[in-house]
């Protein structure tokens, strides 16, 4: 798997910690179908929190799920698991914008301990959520990515040059200004710490190439309706995480060459925020894809 086809592991110490008991061919994706009473995609950060708590318990505190080493210190980089809810309208599901699928992704891979936890994850309860989870398969992003929801394909895990926000991007730094109040600009003329500047910085830290174009997007489409970023719950109930205010933003980003998902950056990225899906215009050969 190339660097363009996944989030890049950064930080050698955390990589060694996570990879110690994981075979090189270990799967990196677990994909689930949801039933019961899952929340709408707009409240999916709470579902991701409950799934995270369940996996931490089922794995007896695996670093892949806790994101911390044995001393409780946060791991560097983004090697630990991303929990990515999806609402895909197909086969009579997703009509109310509810979460229909969930992907757990960890570039470091899942060893036997983590695999057992994933296989035993069958339900989550709490915070108003009653969700039953069926593990569809373990594998790699390329096994699940695509634009045909009727076949269970995921636009979060597909490959494209152009990606569009599916959940709000939440910056982790504030815009910078001089003492006189003038914006501090980078070499390209962007204000340092602005949402666009922060998006580019975080994409680079995650190992993605620099986009050739970025433009703002004010909404996503859920169950046939345009939904703005302010309609999403954008803060976790538990845990820490750096964020620069509560506002969410959306973007359409274009790379020079296709990259493979998942693409998720910013505050709450490990809990379903800041996710992107492949652009429906760029991939218009299959008009059944929902989103963007």
Q: Is residue 36 within 8 Å of residue 123, measured between CB atoms?
A: yes
In what order do the strands lie in the sheet containing 82-86? 82-86, 101-105, 29-37, 129-139, 123-126
Is 109 within a domain?
yes
Q: Tens digits of per-residue pLDDT, 161-187?
A: 999 999 999 999 988 888 888 888 888
Q: Judge whether residue 75 has pLDDT over 80.
A: no
Whose structure tokens read 């309706």?
Answer: 225
Instruction: Count CA atoms within 13 Å of residue 159 on its CB side.
Output: 15
| Per-residue pLDDT band at 1 (split at 50, 70, 90) | very low
| DSSP states of 51-120 | HHHHHHHHTTS-HHHH-B-TTSPBPSTT-S-EEEEE---BTTBSTTSB--EEEEE-TT---HHHHHHHHH
- pLDDT at position 67 is 83
Q: Judge whether residue 3 has pLDDT over 50.
A: no
Is 181 within a domain?
yes
Q: Judge whether residue 20 has pLDDT over 80.
A: no
Is 257 within a domain?
yes
Q: What's the structural domain count of the chain?
A: 1
Q: Tens digits of per-residue pLDDT, 217-254?
A: 999 999 999 999 999 999 888 766 677 678 999 999 99
| Per-residue pLDDT band at 200 (split at 50, 70, 90) | very high
Q: Judge whether residue 157 has pLDDT over 90.
A: yes
Report helix, strand and coil shares of the chain as percent, to nearest 5: 25, 30, 50
Q: Judge whether residue 193 has pLDDT over 90.
A: no
Higher pLDDT, 184 or 51: 51
Is 291 within a domain?
no
- Find the domain containing 195 and state its range: 3-278
Per mean pLDDT, which range of 10-19, 142-151, 281-290 is the poorest? 10-19
Is 287 within a domain?
no
Contacts of 81 (CB under 8 A, 6+ apart): 52, 55, 64, 65, 67, 104, 105, 106, 270
C-alpha 274 chain-centroid distance:
6
Is 207 within a domain?
yes
Report residue 91 as tokens.
Answer: 């086969």
Residues of the chain above pLDDT 90, percent: 62
Is 233 within a domain?
yes
Is 284 within a domain?
no
Mean pLDDT value across the chain: 85
């Amino acid at each position: 798997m190339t660097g363009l086809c996944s989030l890049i592991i950064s930080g050698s110490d955390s990589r060694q910690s996570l990879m110690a008991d994981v075979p090189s061919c270990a799967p990196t994706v677990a994909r689930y179908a949801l039933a019961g009473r899952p929340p709408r995609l707009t409240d999916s950060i709470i579902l991701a929190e409950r799934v995270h708590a369940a996996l931490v318990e089922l794995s007896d505190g695996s670093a892949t799920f806790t994101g911390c080493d044995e001393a409780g210190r946060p791991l560097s980089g983004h090697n630990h698991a991303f929990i990515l809810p999806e609402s895909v309208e197909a086969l009579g599901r997703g009509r109310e914008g509810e979460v229909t699928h969930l992907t757990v992704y960890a570039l470091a891979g899942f060893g036997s301990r983590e695999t057992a936890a994933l296989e035993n994850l069958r339900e989550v309860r709490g915070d108003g959520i009653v969700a039953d989870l069926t593990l569809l398969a373990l594998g790699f992003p390329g096994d699940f990515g695509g634009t045909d929801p009727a076949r269970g394909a995921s636009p979060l895990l597909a490959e494209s040059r152009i990606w569009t926000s599916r959940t709000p991007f939440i910056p982790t730094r504030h815009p910078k200004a001089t003492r006189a109040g003038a914006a501090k600009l980078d070499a390209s003329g962007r204000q340092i710490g602005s949402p666009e500047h922060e998006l580019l910085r975080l994409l680079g830290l995650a190992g993605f190439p620099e986009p050739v174009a970025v433009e703002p997007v004010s909404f996503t489409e859920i169950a046939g309706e345009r939904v703005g970023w302010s309609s999403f719950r954008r803060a976790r109930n538990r845990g820490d995480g750096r964020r620069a205010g509560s506002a969410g933003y959306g973007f359409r980003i274009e790379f020079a060459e296709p990259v493979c998902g998942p693409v998720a950056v910013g505050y709450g990225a490990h809990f379903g925020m800041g996710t992107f899906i492949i652009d429906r215009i760029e991939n218009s050969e299959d008009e059944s894809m929902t989103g963007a």
